[in-house]
Structure 1
Amino acid sequence: MIPAPRRLVLAAALAAPAIARAQQQRPVTIIVPFAAGGSTDVLSRLMSERMTQTLGQTVLVENRAGGNTIVGAEYVARAQPDGNTLLMAAGTTLSINPVVVKNLPYKVEDFAPITLATTYPFGIITQNKGPADIPALIAAAKADPGGITYGTNGPTTLTNVAMLLVTERLGIRMQDVTYRGDSAALNDFVAGNLDVLVVAGSTAVPVFRNGQGRLIGWTSLQRMPTTPEVPTVAEFAPGTEALSWFGLLAPARTAPARVQQLHDAAAESLKDPRIQERLTRDAQFIVGNTPEEFAQFLRDQDRLWRPILSKLDVQNN
């Protein structure tokens, strides 16, 4: 007869694979902390389709917008660390909020990095009857300080902080108008209620190609291959660069083997030619790095943005 302590150990050992199988029979849900239709949502849905095939486990996308991505991020930070609830974070989530938001209900250490999916600049779009280029925007803004409106995803989101940096470097002042996601800002822009639209490439490029506005600049150092005719802000204010990013994370304490499994599926999805074509078209740089490299990237981002936020005197919430 097997002694009681050994029976308990044996039972636990036999139960572990069954528990793991049960966990993996449940769908994986990628939480997008923005409204549906934006660039974060598009990337997540593209990756989820391919990851479903690779994992052999259904991967779904759920939008939990609100609070400058805080709502969705807090939800994942408090989720079971079984690898079935993931966060598609943006730069705002883990590069900006930890610096500027008081009493933030999560911290970077609450997450296990899986992979940095992409990085990207913001496109600056004016109305077709508005300023035709960066010098014209500078002149118009100086002629009417604070009179020109531009749309972002909210105070202290990366679109907002990027434009604070851009306007400071260009020596101008404009009025920020807050929206809950790119789609809402785009609708107001197309309706003529907004002078300037500041959005990621997945929104900026179609607006430009469809003739709904003028794409007058990118917030990257180099011009984007998909729009070589469009200059960068750095060409008028040397050294000006403001990039955001999208990265996949699990709750902290998720088993390393599960993190690696999710990484392999996510990184594999980013190699899909169909996904690469779409992301390149949307002016994103594909990364797909390791969990360790993503963790280092987050540390580097903190060192980058803290002095900029301090210099720009962004107010804490």
Structure 2
Amino acid sequence: MASKNVHLSRRALGIAATALLAGAALPVQAQDAYPNKAIRIIVPNPPGGTSDVLARLIGKELGETLKQPVIVENKAGGNGHIGASFVAKSAPDGYTLLLMDMSNATIGPSVAQLNYNPLKELTPVTMPAYSPHLLVVRQDLPVRNIDELAAYARKSGKPVSFGTPLASISQLAGILLAQNKGFEFNVIGYKGGAQALADLAGGQIDSAMASVLATNPLVQGGKIKAIAVTSAKPFAATPGVPTVASQIPDFVTGSWQGLLAPAGTPPAVLDKLQATVQQIVARPDVAKRLAELGSEPSDMSRQKMAEWMQAETVRWAKVVKDNNIKAE
């Protein structure tokens, strides 16, 4: 009888073990089936901006490729941090994603009290696109490049005014540029970059720095003058404009558009999203549309993006501390 009980116990254990293994396999099967419902891409800015346009472009193609609806939802406010926090607190299942200008994620911790940690509560998926900044000046300012701007600033007897949203990537990049060239900007704070560019076109300020998407129409319309681009090499959308990096080695800034998910999202889901988005932005028709927006495709992997986020957060924290930068 004892041996029969032992036999039954072993059989019961075997059944239990089989059930546990089957249960352990369920998450893998669920990941293999991803996605099986609609995906949301949260844009933490109002409609019409670079992140919004890119999210809608990628979302349409992503939905067609993955055979599930992709809904783009704007959650603006707090310089992008309201929408980013919402995604950081969402379920890590791959169905709520964030597409944002990565400068908000890398500068934010140094200039604001955030209710989330971008480096710990968000995980990179991929960096689908990059758009450099243009350093632009009023049309009648007698300078053609940053060396001439620096010389003009030193000779004029008063600082060159520089319009920018405060505690933004454009303000920090402008400070770095001026320090490297031995002069100082008179920073004029604005609520948004569009207002600064409008005043620049009207001749009320001397200079500004903003994305190619925002500045190029005004440059091409003869309203303002581009004197430098912040890409590592000459940028196709701004032919003839010299790079800052040609005069200040390794000076590269801009609008890095990143796709992120809540921390803890399964690696298999992240890999599938990364591969799909990278295939989408590499297509000639999508690359052409990105060029029209003043951007170019990026193939930065999620591993490289995580390293980049760490390095950029450290880089801008130093600039913020050294220059006592305050948020609005």
Q: What residue in structure 1 maps to residue 41 of structure 2?
A: 30
Q: Percent identity?
A: 27
Within the candidate set 169, 178, 185, 1:173 is matched to: 185
Alignment map for 1:26-65 (pairs within 5 Å): 26-65=37-76
Q: Closer, same or farther in 2 for the Cα pair 1:53/1:38, shift >3 Å?
A: same
Question: CA deviation digits over 1:135-188, x for unaligned, max 9?
Answer: 55445545363562413xx322212211121222231222232234x4454455
Alignment map for 1:70-149 (pairs within 5 Å): 70-134=81-145, 135=147, 137-138=149-150, 141-142=153-154, 143=156, 145-146=158-159, 148-149=161-162
Shift of 1:54: 1.0
Q: Tell me the distance in 2 between the aligned counterparts of 1:117 and 1:14.
A: 32
| Aligned amino acid, residue 231 of structure 1 | P
Q: Tell me the distance in 1 between the aligned counterparts of 2:148 and 2:234.
A: 19
Within the candidate set 236, 257, 276, 1:246 is matched to: 257
Within the candidate set 293, 305, 308, 1:294 is matched to: 305
Q: Tell me the distance in 2 between the aligned counterparts of 1:300 and 1:114.
A: 17
| Aligned amino acid, residue 77 of structure 1 | A
Q: Tell me the distance in 2 between the aligned counterparts of 1:204 and 1:86.
A: 28
Question: CA deviation digits over 1:218-241, x for unaligned, max 9?
Answer: 123433233231123345555543
Q: Tell me the distance in 1 between the aligned counterparts of 2:291 and 2:34.
A: 34
Q: Tell me the distance in 2 between the aligned counterparts of 1:231 and 1:204.
A: 15
Moved more, 305-314 or 195-204: 305-314
State TM-score, norm by structure 1.
0.82
Q: Closer, same or farther in 2 for the Cα pair 1:232/1:312, shift >3 Å?
A: farther
Alignment check: 8 A CA contact 1:169 1:240 kept = no
Q: What residue in structure 2 maps to residue 279 of structure 1?
A: 290
Q: Tell me the distance in 1 between the aligned counterparts of 2:120 and 2:66.
A: 26
Q: Closer, same or farther in 2 for the Cα pair 1:193/1:38, shift >3 Å?
A: farther
Q: Closer, same or farther in 2 for the Cα pair 1:145/1:83, shift >3 Å?
A: farther
2:277 paired with 1:258? no
Alignment check: 8 A CA contact 2:162 2:185 kept = no
Rg larger in 1 or in 2? 2
Q: Tell me the distance in 1 between the aligned counterparts of 2:142 and 2:77.
A: 32
Q: Tell me the distance in 1 between the aligned counterparts of 2:243 and 2:299.
A: 25
Shift of 1:43: 1.9
Alignment check: 8 A CA contact 1:112 1:252 kept = yes
Aligned pair count?
A: 313
Q: Closer, same or farther in 2 for the Cα pair 1:231/1:22, shift >3 Å?
A: closer
Alignment check: 8 A CA contact 2:39 2:69 kept = yes
Shift of 1:114: 0.5
Alignment check: 8 A CA contact 1:38 1:183 kept = no
| Aligned amino acid, residue 163 of structure 2 | Y
Provide structure 2 residue ranges, at least 5 long, that are not aligned to the other structure.
Answer: 1-11
| Aligned amino acid, residue 173 of structure 1 | F
Shift of 1:74: 0.7
CA root-mean-square deviation: 3.5
| Aligned amino acid, residue 96 of structure 1 | I
Alignment map for 1:163-242 (pairs within 5 Å): 163-170=174-181, 171-180=183-192, 182-190=193-201, 194-237=205-248, 240-242=251-253
Moved more, 137-146 or 14-23: 14-23
Q: Tell me the distance in 2 between the aligned counterparts of 1:144 and 1:34.
A: 39
Q: Closer, same or farther in 2 for the Cα pair 1:15/1:296, shift >3 Å?
A: closer
Q: Closer, same or farther in 2 for the Cα pair 1:241/1:6, shift >3 Å?
A: closer
Q: What residue in structure 1 maps to residue 323 of structure 2?
A: 312
Shift of 1:191: 5.4
Q: Closer, same or farther in 2 for the Cα pair 1:144/1:283, shift >3 Å?
A: farther
Shift of 1:289: 2.9
2:280 paired with 1:269? yes
Q: Closer, same or farther in 2 for the Cα pair 1:37/1:310, shift >3 Å?
A: same
State TM-score, norm by structure 2.
0.79
Alignment check: 8 A CA contact 1:221 1:234 kept = yes
Secondary structure (helix, strand or coil) at the match of 2:48 reads coil
Shift of 1:51: 0.9
